[in-house]
Structure 1
Amino acid sequence: MTVEPTRPPLAVTLGDPAGIGPEIALRAVTRPDAPHCLLIGPPAAAARARDLVSPKTQLRAVDAPEHCVRTPGTIDIITSSRSKVHPYGQISAEAGQLAHEAVMTAVALAKAGRVSGIVTAPIHKEALSKAGVPFPGHTEMLEKYSGVLETGGRVAMMLANEELRVVLVTIHVSLREAVEQADYAAQLRAIRLAHKGCQAFGIGSPRIAVAGLNPHAGEGGLFGREEIDIIRPAIEAAQADGMNVSGPWPGDTVFMQARQGKFDVVVAQYHDQGLIPIKYMGLDKGVNVTLGLPFVRTSPDHGTAFDIAGKGVADASSMIAAITMADRMSRARRG
């Protein structure tokens, strides 16, 4: 019998303390069948969430992942910053800064191999902006802090559930900017990352479909030439590299075809084109995976839900799915 070597815990950031992040994180990590997890964030937010959803759980402060000991009824936490308790449901610069600091702490640990991966609870983009953080979301933040850009690499966002996987060519920009950014290099990068991302799920030769940018995938140039001049050449280059990729396919049907089993992943051109099909299938099922990082990172596929924060009713299903997927991916990386 092969015995798996002891792995470091997964780092779970608490997200914006004014949202549901701490609550769903505590719900997820205190499950009896949860993998070994370490919380990262302000202790006041963790304690308040603990009192709300799992009052018998003990929070134990540690200063390093190496000091974590998996103990029934106890969850370890690394304090990324100290602060007072924030009112639920309110956007603030301080809450945005606390969320940012937790991510930076987690990334530093992941880069050093001291945690098995990162699972991030939701952050609020306006709170980040108020705090002066120059990133609109986790994906851009992780791309910068991970060191990927320094080596000439880039990352991509994959949204996944049990029926559908989607990789985005562009993410948190306006639709006008998305059209400008969806150039040949961005297309080829997204296709390559989709290929590698599916292989991380154990799919040896993934079937990749690329969605068109324009209605009906441009209808042979009648509704735009991006499919002819940009997207198809990138597909052909990826095919020449041995990837099983096809398209561009009309965006209004390709996701249905993927869900029916024709494709393993769809490369979508912009944020809403890819996220609407995933989220329509249920926010409790989707997981956000950042492809191209030197470590595993996942997150639930929803936001801070300020309207229900602190009421004890937040559904942790997507966070549980994100932790489960991160655990599976970290095991695969370690063979």
Structure 2
Amino acid sequence: MTRRILLTCGEPAGIGPELAPLAMASGVDFVWIGDPRHLPADTPYHLIADPGDPVPPGHLPVLRHEFAAPNRPGQPDPANAQGVIQVIARAVDLIRQGQADAMTTLPINKQALKQGADFAFPGHTEYLAHLAGDVPVAMMLASTSVTPPCRVVPATIHIPLADVPAALTDERLESAIRITHDALIRDFGIASPRLAIAGLNPHAGEHGVMGHEETDRIAPLLTRLRAEGLDLTGPLPADTMFHAPARKNYDAAICAYHDQALIPIKTLDFAGGVNVTLGLPFIRTSPDHGTAFDIAGRGLADPASTIAALRMARDMAATRP
């Protein structure tokens, strides 16, 4: 029987090795890909050759992927950078071969990958898009512990705030809207998605008093897309979009820039937030936190977001046709 979810190891010097055995509490049938030397010493694990191989109860299923060096908590080793990248690519290949249904990725450290392997991508999302054939993607952060749910998609991501107005083109915003709309149908089972679009400026520009992007660019785009049948609200003031009564009116919010999207989700559901890459031909989720080098190896890692990411990957796999 095929194991449904692949859990990639991420940066060995971070909290990823500790999260893998703790994630067994999720109840999700998953396989960890990585070097078993990096796991906590007391981890009961079982090496398998195929994601569908049987595993003794209470043991972490491990697809071995040997790394160049052991891990030192809190101290990334450049020698391990290539292994981190290879594990991600291996998981994608296994899904494409039909040996698993989805992947959940533990955190990587972009600086460590750049130093050790000249990693040419800003992060996981862009690398996975490349592996999928350079497809257009969007990053969604989704809550799992609040009602109504909070789902946010930043139209621009890892760029300086000063660059956002120029980067927030009609094409980029339209792409985020379309990718999110299609993903809500395919992956979340929402037949008629409702999207709320945040303005760029305070009070969504207040009719041009605090900026013209809303009236000159965003509103005309939304009018055109509504004519195609998309259910869009906005542009809306971002400061009144995320309290519970407002969230009842939409299924996902499209935001202009990174912090406009991530501050509300991390405030509302810091431990239960999940990162989902929309637009890929395969399912990818991730915990909504980083490598946490400062607490690595100290037994302080909180598995809540990883557990939520595994469960969301499982549920999305059940929704996809």
- Identify whether the pair has TM-score above 0.5, normalized to the shorter chain: yes
In the other structure, the counterpart of 1:44 is 37
The Cα offsets for residues 264-297 of structure 1, whole Å up to 9 and x where unpaired, read as: 1100111111011111123211000000000110
1:291 aligned residue (274, 278, 281): 278
Find the residue that maps to 1:302 and give its secondary structure.
Answer: coil
Find the residue that maps to 1:273 and give its secondary structure.
Answer: helix
Determine if the alignment matches structure 1 residue 198 to structure 2 residue 193: no
1:242-261 superposed matches below 5 A: 242-256=229-243, 260-261=247-248
More moved, 107-116 vs 305-314: 107-116
Find the residue that maps to 1:320 and give its secondary structure.
Answer: helix
The answer for unaligned runs of 5 or more in structure 2 is none
Summarize the Cα distance change of 1:301–1:246 in structure 2 as closer, same or farther, 3 Å threshold.
same
1:105-124 superposed matches below 5 A: 105-124=90-109
In the other structure, the counterpart of 1:14 is 9
Within 1, Cα distance between the matches of 2:204 and 2:86?
Answer: 42
Within 2, Cα distance between the matches of 1:228 and 1:81?
Answer: 55
Determine if the alignment matches structure 1 residue 155 to structure 2 residue 137: yes
Find the residue that maps to 2:136 and give its secondary structure.
Answer: coil
Determine if the alignment matches structure 1 residue 24 to structure 2 residue 9: no
Within 1, Cα distance between the matches of 2:76 and 2:43?
Answer: 30
Find the residue that maps to 1:255 and give its secondary structure.
Answer: coil
Query: What is the CA-CA distance between 1:258 and the residue it aligns to?
Result: 6.5
Query: What is the CA-CA distance between 1:233 and the residue it aligns to?
Result: 2.4
1:322-333 superposed matches below 5 A: 322-333=309-320
Counterpart code for 1:16: E
Aligned residue pairs total 315
Summarize the Cα distance change of 1:327–1:212 in structure 2 as closer, same or farther, 3 Å threshold.
same
In the other structure, the counterpart of 2:114 is 129
More moved, 113-122 vs 251-260: 251-260
2:73 aligned residue (85, 88, 93): 88
In the other structure, the counterpart of 2:262 is 275
In the other structure, the counterpart of 2:209 is 222
> Are the aligned partners of 2:95 and 2:282 in contact in 1 as well (CA < 8 Å)?
yes
More moved, 318-327 vs 101-110: 101-110
More moved, 201-210 vs 258-267: 258-267
Within 2, Cα distance between the matches of 1:287 and 1:233?
Answer: 32
In the other structure, the counterpart of 2:151 is 165
In the other structure, the counterpart of 1:3 is none
In the other structure, the counterpart of 1:309 is 296
Summarize the Cα distance change of 1:181–1:92 in structure 2 as closer, same or farther, 3 Å threshold.
farther
Within 2, Cα distance between the matches of 1:178 and 1:243?
Answer: 25
Counterpart code for 1:175: L
Could you tell me the TM-score, scaled by structure 2's length?
Answer: 0.92
> Are the aligned partners of 2:46 and 2:62 in contact in 1 as well (CA < 8 Å)?
yes
The answer for unaligned runs of 5 or more in structure 1 is 1-5
Could you tell me the TM-score, scaled by structure 1's length?
Answer: 0.88
1:46-61 superposed matches below 5 A: 48-49=39-40, 51=41, 55=42, 57-61=44-48
In the other structure, the counterpart of 1:141 is 127
> Are the aligned partners of 1:124 and 1:304 in contact in 2 as well (CA < 8 Å)?
yes
Indicate the percent of aligned positions where both proteins have the same amino acid.
Answer: 42
Within 1, Cα distance between the matches of 2:235 and 2:81?
Answer: 39
Within 2, Cα distance between the matches of 1:170 and 1:38?
Answer: 33
> Are the aligned partners of 1:36 and 1:70 in contact in 2 as well (CA < 8 Å)?
no
In the other structure, the counterpart of 1:181 is 167
More moved, 316-325 vs 6-15: 6-15
Find the residue that maps to 2:31 and give its secondary structure.
Answer: strand
Counterpart code for 1:190: A
The Cα offsets for residues 98-152 of structure 1, whole Å up to 9 and x where unpaired, read as: 32221111112223332110100011121122121011211111111111x2xxx
In the other structure, the counterpart of 1:99 is 84
Within 1, Cα distance between the matches of 2:244 and 2:212?
Answer: 24
> Are the aligned partners of 1:10 and 1:327 in contact in 2 as well (CA < 8 Å)?
yes
Within 1, Cα distance between the matches of 2:99 and 2:228?
Answer: 35
> Are the aligned partners of 1:80 and 1:105 in contact in 2 as well (CA < 8 Å)?
no
Within 2, Cα distance between the matches of 1:236 and 1:111?
Answer: 38
Summarize the Cα distance change of 1:21–1:239 in structure 2 as closer, same or farther, 3 Å threshold.
same
Query: What is the CA-CA distance between 1:260 and the residue it aligns to?
Result: 4.2
In the other structure, the counterpart of 1:78 is 63
Query: What is the CA-CA distance between 1:172 and the residue it aligns to?
Result: 1.6
Counterpart code for 2:36: P
The Cα offsets for residues 32-76 of structure 1, whole Å up to 9 and x where unpaired, read as: x5222111122321xx33x2xxx36223142x334x224312332
Determine if the alignment matches structure 1 residue 65 to structure 2 residue 60: no
